[in-house]
């Protein structure tokens, strides 16, 4: 989807997060359009309508495009385990470098159509891809990179009730494992190869309450048939490998030619806020850290007004 603006000062490439699709970014796209951007919103390979070939895509697209109150637009009887299986199979064939190659092609097309400076904006996994894309795609046209709750390192989402202690232990183990892989401990490379080939997938039901506290947004996240309900472990492993690869790189040269903007919540339980804070301290940037509200999707949280004001100031600076 392209949000045109004939008076735009910037071209903007806007990237959605894991399990989602371009429609989830439409509100932000319209906001950026009003603030001097012509916005290009792709759907990543293996996601959304590219993962599920369903006739009702237009209904779902219009739901987000028009900010509809009609939640029945998300209810479709044909959403079934067979469709979810098709989703998993499409995701298993995609790597992070498939995403980056496609996004590079998007940037080249934008550069061919316009001589305006480019802003890359990414949410969650889209933030990770935005940073990797800016580091990989050398162009003086890319002037700003905005990362919103970027997945520079992941957490195990917090469970509730009796499972909460187990999720905390699992998250601690994940952080240790991530650090071991980053430091190339013996055996971690072989485990990474195994994870890249496994057919196991994990459910996303524990993610829902951690994405946003607002019940309406939780309902949408659970019932939108274009949002994946399970994620292949091989795909999560590919995300972690890209995280580790980026963390090992010196972004100083990139930081000299590109302005960084970073927004995150210190209470985010899906991505690791300490890793985002480390990044924001290491490199020159403009940032906002939400300390009084624990949420991953800052664009749909009760603090969203502050986040949108930060985005406006960053774009217009």
- Between 312 and 91, the higher pLDDT residue: 312
pLDDT at 165 over 80: no
pLDDT digits (tens, 9 = 90+) for 46-103: 787 665 556 667 778 888 988 888 887 776 555 545 556 666 666 666 778 889 999 9
Residue written as token pair 């469709």? 83
Whole-angstrom distance, CA of residue 2 vs CA of residue 10: 13
Q: Which domain holds residue 206?
A: 2-316
Tokens (6 digits) for 97: 């470098």
Tell which wins on pLDDT, 245 or 195: 245
Q: Calculate ∠ Cα 173-178-179, nearest 5°.
A: 100
Number of domains the chain contains: 1
| Cβ atoms of 38 and 2 closer than 8 Å | yes
Q: What is the pLDDT of residues 278-311, one digit of tens each?
A: 999 999 999 999 998 888 999 998 899 999 999 9
Sort 132 into a burial class: Cβ within 10 Å, 0-12 / 13-18 / 19+: buried
Name the nearest CA neighbour of 85 among 220, 205, 224, 232: 232
Give me the CATH number covering residue 138: 3.40.50.1820
**pLDDT above 90: percentage of residues in the chain:** 49
Return d(Cα 141, Cα 93) in angstroms, integer: 32
Q: 61-68 contacts: CB < 8 A, separation 24 or more? A: 61/1, 61/23, 63/23, 64/23, 64/24, 64/26, 64/27, 65/1, 65/23, 65/26, 67/27
Digit-coded pLDDT (tens) for 2-24: 999 999 999 999 999 998 989 99
pTM equals: 0.91
Q: Give the end-to-end CA distance of the chain in Å, rounded to a whole number.
A: 26
């Amino acid at each position: 989807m392209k949000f045109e603006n004939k008076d735009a000062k910037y071209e903007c490439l806007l990237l959605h997060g894991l399990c989602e699709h371009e429609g989830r970014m439409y509100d932000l796209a319209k906001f950026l359009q009003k603030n001097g951007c012509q916005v290009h919103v792709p759907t990543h390979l293996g996601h959304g309508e590219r993962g599920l070939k369903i006739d009702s895509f237009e209904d779902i697209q219009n739901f987000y495009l028009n900010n509809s109150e009609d939640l029945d637009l998300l209810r479709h009887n044909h959403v079934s385990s067979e469709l979810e299986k098709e989703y998993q199979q499409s995701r298993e064939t995609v790597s992070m470098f498939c995403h980056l190659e496609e996004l590079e092609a998007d940037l080249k097309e934008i550069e061919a159509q316009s001589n305006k400076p480019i802003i890359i904006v990414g949410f969650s996994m889209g933030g990770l891809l935005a940073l990797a894309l800016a580091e990989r795609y050398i162009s003086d046209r890319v002037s700003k990179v905005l990362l919103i709750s970027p997945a520079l390192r992941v957490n195990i989402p917090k469970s509730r009730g009796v499972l909460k202690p187990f999720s905390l232990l699992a998250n601690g183990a994940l952080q240790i494992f991530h650090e071991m892989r980053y430091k190339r401990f013996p055996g971690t490379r072989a485990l990474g190869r195994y994870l890249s080939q496994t057919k196991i997938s994990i459910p996303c039901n524990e993610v829902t309450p951690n994405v946003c506290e607002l019940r309406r947004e939780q309902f949408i996240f659970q019932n939108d048939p274009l949002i994946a309900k399970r994620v292949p472990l091989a795909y999560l492993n590919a995300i972690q490998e890209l995280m580790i690869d980026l963390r090992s790189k010196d972004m100083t040269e990139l930081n000299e030619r590109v302005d960084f903007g970073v927004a995150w919540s210190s209470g985010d339980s899906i991505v690791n806020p300490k890793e985002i804070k480390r990044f924001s301290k290491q490199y020159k940037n403009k940032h906002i850290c939400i300390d009084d509200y624990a949420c991953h999707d800052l664009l749909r949280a009760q603090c969203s007004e502050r986040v949108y004001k930060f985005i406006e100031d960053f774009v217009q600076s």
